[in-house]
Amino acid sequence: MAGIWIRLMRKNRIWKDVIVGCGREEWTRALQQGLEKLDVARPLLIEKHERDWAEFGQTRFLKEHFMEDVAFDRMEVEWIDPEAGKKTNEKYL
């Protein structure tokens, strides 16, 4: 199942996490669902987050991106697709 993996990081360790199934372009809807499951307020979504998502399939939200005080250092959102498989570079075979 493809979707997003939301990780709440505290002291460089995963404090809480959740996976929400979705298509890659529907990540903001899935983010809202995941935040509800984690009981976390929605962060400010700025151009940097959109750009990182489009280019890398992941983005990070820091404490300053939240209007409310949060109990973690950062929130990481990453696209995962287990069926896509890993690509092997023939150069290293």
What range defines the domain where residue 14 resides? 3-82
Q: What DSSP designation does 92 have? A: G
Q: What is the pLDDT at residue 87? A: 64
Q: Is the pLDDT of residue 88 over 70?
A: no
What does the pLDDT read at residue 74? 97
Provide the pLDDT for residue 24.
Answer: 87
Tokens of 89: 């570079």
Whether 44 maps to a domain, the answer reads yes
DSSP 2-67: -EEEEEEEETTEEEEEEEEE--GGGHHHHHHHHHHHHT-PPPP--HHHHHHHHHHSEEEEEGGG-S
Q: Does the pTM exceed 0.75?
A: yes
Tell me whether residue 93 is in a domain: no
Number of domains in the chain: 1
* 38-87 pLDDT per residue, tens: 999 999 999 999 999 999 999 999 999 999 999 999 999 999 988 776 66
Query: Residue 89: inside a domain, yes or no?
Result: no
